[in-house]
Amino acid sequence: MSDTRTLTEPRGTVAKIREAHRILAQDGTDLLYIDRHFLHEGSHHAFASLREAGRSIRQPALTFGVADHYVPSSPERANEVTATMIDRLDRNTRDFGIDSFGIGDPRRGIVHVAMPEQGLSLPGTTIVCGDSHTATHGAFGAFAFGIGASEVAHVLATQTLWQMPMPVMRIRIEGQLPTGATAKDLALTIIWRIGTGGATGHAVEYDGSAVAALSMEERMTLCNMTIEMGARSGLVPPDDTTFEWLKGRPMAPKGKAWKSAVAEWRALRPDPNATYDKEILIDADDVSPMVTWGTSPEQVAPVDAAVPADADPDALDYMGLAAGVPLTTINIDRAFIGSCTNGRLSDLRAAAVILSGRRVVVPLLVSPGSDDVARQAESEGIAEIFRAAGAEWGASGCSLCVSMNGDLVASNERCASTSNRNFKGRQGPGARTHLMSPQMVAAAAITGRITDARTMAPQDCLGDPS
Amino acid sequence: MSGMQTINGVASALPRANIDTDQIIPARFMSRSRADGYGSQCFYDLRFTQEGTPRADWPLRHLSEGPTVLVAGENFGCGSSREAAVYALMDFGVKVIIAASFGDIFQSNAGKNGLLTIILPAAHIREIFAMLHVDPEMQISIDLPGQRLCAGEINISFEIDARLKYRLERGLDELSATLELEDCIVAFEAKHLGSSAWRVPLKPEPRPD
Ligand code: SF4
């Protein structure tokens, strides 16, 4: 690929960002400069290998840590491992001069919730983290992707990463999401249609009137789930919604730097006639509340449908379900609201609308996405709605999205969950996970079975129920 | 990391699609340090029931350690980016994985650690599964410099990224190689951060205690 070609041809946003970060190319692989590197407890392998090789860190000022994966949502579920992992992150970041949001730091939360809140995830940047859901930050018009431990060590030591240019897939979403259909349902609908391999190896670039209409929180949910289509990253080109959300965030640029940043960011919109390696069109009007019935996010159906007749027998066996069973007849044992997919304030608000004035009949754990979300939920009275409904209001963190912090779904227990993966064992060995939106989990927790949240009118309206 | 030229070893079939990294190494084992070894945890929940008894349906139950060559179903290593999945397979004894497709991050992690992943057309994978069904002790040989794979009747070439091949053959680690380009990185960085001051995050205001 010659430089003259890339400079004159119409380009999409991903191509613009890649080119602005290419230091050099060798045998078709680019060496990219990394603007932001986020760390969580899982970085211990990378620090161990750096220490062993006696290496230093190139840009601590562009590196930020946060404790999330191992943070217990309740002190009773804390254990030796959770404490050790959190301490290890503290020690590693302190030793290498990295700002890290540990326990007690008011900035702490799930990495994909807390970093955007602080204004660290910006348009036109390259963002990496040793976590596949780093795609979330693409909501800001950043080229953001998950990396492995060797790459974490590589970025720490060099602030760069080798990457082969990836094909770019454009997903255009036109129309309008119907009432009761959320960004989570939109993401699950796309996965339903194209499968978990539908975007394998691609960087996804979103576009269309329905995407432009999404709030930043909804864009984050959509980009977050993009990884479940097999993509490496998901990106929404930045616009006024993005800039308004970022303005005034603690670590976002201010004053003159803000103005020149916005001017640069406006140029990131895809050029008219930009070409893509693959394109699909989705009609937002067709989206309805979705529920997974199997052990992969593509094993999903609208809530008013049944488990498909040709469902994978292995998934059915694990899930303890039979083909043809209507989804709304499936009883659940517990419920979870939280995670980097659906742990933001808008998600908690949506669930609270359903829960307000009602009681849960199965245990519901709510873990806010960050301490900031927790504080706002307390001050808005949402936390009180959860408590009054009989839910457990836990500390912020990855919680029941991943069984490594003391939160666990027991074997054969069925959990309605707002997280992003229904893989076998994800919420605990033998745990059965049904993914859905926050309002759908709230509805399921109230009735004890999978329920169409659209049929539950708010009892006790909390401001605007939209 | 030691260099790799040819590999000739016993192959085993794991004919299941979408084996995600949660299944390769369950999250609860990931706080271990690398030096402790991950081999005995590899595929743990697929190998054992919750009571700890071996599962009758585990395709590799006849093996006490991993096969040199693992032939897997499509989309092997999808899901979480955990590199521990690669450590687990390598510590289990696996040197090469052959599949019709892989999870991207898994495949990249594998390359960094010297675990060779080879993509073959699905029809060849099915043929190899069939051959392994007849002869579970069958050997597969891989010639990395020549980029050829030989399994029974099948003798075909495979694709591999040139930079990765170079490093695997010589057992070089990527980081050391990149550090030799430091001058280029420094020059690029000065321009990149200098011309767009907004790229460097503001230091947070000191917090009131
Ligand atoms: S909430 Fe879940 S998906 Fe998100 S970062 Fe934590 S473990 Fe990963």
Cβ-based neighbours of A436, under 8 Å, separated by 6 or more:
A184, A289, A290, A291, A292, A303, A416, A417, A418, A444, A450
Q: Which residue has the higher pLDDT, B202 or B190?
A: B190
Strand (E) or helix (H) holding B9: strand B6-14
Stretch 172-191 of chain B: residues touching chain A, C-beta under 8 Å: 174-175, 178-179, 181-182, 184-185, 188-189
What's the whole-number mean pLDDT along residues A444-460? 91
pLDDT of the residue at A1: 39
CATH number at B62 reads 3.20.19.10
pLDDT digits (tens, 9 = 90+) for B107-130: 999 999 999 999 999 999 999 999
Say yes or no to pLDDT of A100 above 50. Answer: yes
Domain ranges across chain A: 13-165, 291-461
* Cβ of residue A420 lying under 6 Å from some atom of ligand 1: yes
pLDDT of the residue at A2: 38
What's the whole-number mean pLDDT along residues A296-307? 98
Residue A454: which pLDDT band, with cuts at 50, 70 and 90?
very high
Say yes or no to pLDDT of B88 above 80. Answer: yes
Q: Which pair of tokens denotes residue B196?
A: 């767009």
Say yes or no to pLDDT of A464 above 50. Answer: no
Stretch 233-252 of chain A: residues touching chain B, C-beta under 8 Å: 250-252
Task: Tell me the C-alpha distance between B63 and A270, whole Å.
Answer: 53
Task: Tell me the C-alpha distance between A113 and A109, whole Å.
Answer: 6
Say yes or no to pLDDT of A3 above 50. Answer: no
Residue B65: which pLDDT band, with cuts at 50, 70 and 90?
confident
Is residue B2 within 8 A of residue A377, CB to CB? The reply is: no
**ipTM for the assembly:** 0.92
Q: List the single range of A1-10, A40-49, A374-383 with lowest mean pLDDT.
A: A1-10
Q: List the single range of A75-84, A94-103, A234-243 with lowest mean pLDDT.
A: A75-84
- Chain A CB contacts of B86 under 8 Å are 148
Determine contact: A165 vs chain B, CB below 8 A: no
What's the whole-number mean pLDDT along residues A228-233? 95
What's the whole-number mean pLDDT along residues A291-310? 98
Give how many domains chain B has, as a whole number.
Answer: 1
Q: Percent of chain B at pLDDT above 70?
A: 97
Tell me how many degrees the CA angle B55-B110-A125 measures, rounded to the nearest 5: 125
Domain-embedded: residue B204:
no
Task: Tell me the C-alpha distance between A441 and A303, whole Å.
Answer: 12
Query: Between chains, do B75 and A430 touch, taking CB under 8 Å as contact?
Result: no
pLDDT digits (tens, 9 = 90+) for A107-161: 999 999 999 999 999 999 999 999 999 999 999 999 999 999 999 999 999 999 9
Residue A465: which pLDDT band, with cuts at 50, 70 and 90?
very low
Distances (CA, A) of A340 to A44, A405, A444, B26, B51: 21, 15, 20, 20, 32
Cβ-based neighbours of A442, under 8 Å, separated by 6 or more:
A335, A337, A350, A351, A352, A354, A355, A364, A453
- Facing residues of B102 across strands? B76
Mean pLDDT estimate for chain B? 92
Same fold, A13-165 and A291-461: yes
Residue B206: which pLDDT band, with cuts at 50, 70 and 90?
low
DSSP string for A82-143: HHHHHHHHHHHHHHTT-EEE-TT-TT-B-HHHHHHHTT---TT-EEEESSGGGGGGGGGT-E
Domain-embedded: residue B190:
no
Task: Tell me the C-alpha distance between B131 and B109, whole Å.
Answer: 29
The distance of A104 to chain B (nearest Cα, Å) reads 12
pLDDT of the residue at A403: 86
Domain-embedded: residue B203:
no
Domain-embedded: residue B96:
yes
Say yes or no to pLDDT of A4 above 90. Answer: no
pLDDT digits (tens, 9 = 90+) for A397-418: 999 999 899 999 999 999 999 9
pLDDT digits (tens, 9 = 90+) for A264-294: 999 999 999 999 999 999 999 999 999 999 9
Check if CATH label 3.40.50.10880 holds for domain A13-165. no
Residue B24: which pLDDT band, with cuts at 50, 70 and 90?
very high
* Cβ of residue A110 lying under 6 Å from some atom of ligand 1: yes
Q: List the single range of A177-186, A420-429, A456-465, B184-193 with lowest mean pLDDT.
A: A456-465
Looking at ligand 1, which atom is closest to the CA of residue A419? 2
Q: Residue B124 belongs to what domain range?
A: 6-171
Task: Tell me the C-alpha distance between B12 and B20, whole Å.
Answer: 18
Determine contact: A97 vs chain B, CB below 8 A: no
Check if CATH label 3.90.79.10 holds for domain A291-461. no
Q: Which residue has the higher pLDDT, B159 or B2?
A: B159
